[in-house]
Structure 1
């Protein structure tokens, strides 16, 4: 099991990787509020996709996740494996390692960026 600090570092790496996306790709990412609940840590973070960047990432009370358009639930090791490129998000989702709670349209629009 990873730590909250390693999850924060993973989130920072995710923010940095999104900032490196080419401008055409960034324009295609829809603006949405998102949250991630780390089941093994009982910790949640929230942020916003805005203009192709992940911004305003903060730790939140897990109960406050309901306000996000896109809600993820996964364990910390799975998250870090995805961020580090050792595990494909779609594979993890398809095998039940990541739970996604969102409108189908949001999932459809965001599927190529997750």
Structure 2
């Protein structure tokens, strides 16, 4: 949770994210868990972990990655943009959100 809060917090702190109000999820494939929360007013709020499949993922912005990649992102050994481009991190969102997120990556 700390690693995910750090990564999402970095994104949320950027000026382009200040006007966003979106639900978020991050599925950690190797742990069988999905972390859900909300990005609003430049802050990530209400992060909570749930087992995979406990509810249908309807988040506006959805990340999927292995926990090792999440830790590598947090420690600065992996950058989000290249990780996304190489397929290590999957990002799903609506077209407008993807355009805005592109400026954050």
* TM-score clears 0.5: yes
1:85–1:98 distance in 2 versus 1, CA, 3 Å: same
Measured in 2, the distance between the counterparts of 1:9 and 1:82 equals 12
C-alpha separation between the residues in 2 aligned to 1:100 and 1:15? 13
TM, length-normalised to structure 1:
0.77
Aligned-residue CA RMSD (Å): 2.2
Which runs of structure 2 are paired with 1:59-78 in the superposition (5 Å)? Answer: 59-63=49-53, 64=55, 66-78=57-69
Aligned equivalent of 1:96: 87
Map of 1:3 onto structure 2: none
Is it true that 1:113 corresponds to 2:104 in the alignment? yes
In structure 1, runs of 5+ residues without a counterpart are 1-7
TM-score (norm 2): 0.83
Q: Which has the higher helix share?
A: 1
* CA-to-aligned-CA distance 1:17-40 (integer Å, 9 cap, x gap): 468x47xx1664511101000001
Q: Which 4+ stretches in 1 moved above 6 angstroms?
A: none
Cα distance change, pair 100–15 in 1 and its aligned pair in 2 (3 A): closer
> What is the CA–CA distance in structure 2 between the aligned matches of 1:16 and 1:30, rounded to whole Å?
13
Matches within 5 A, 1:17-32: 17=10, 21=13, 25=15, 28-32=18-22
Q: 5+ unaligned residues in a row in structure 2: which ranges? A: none
CA distance in 1, matches of 2:16, 2:41: 7
Tell me if structure 2 keeps the 8 A contact 1:30–1:110.
Answer: no
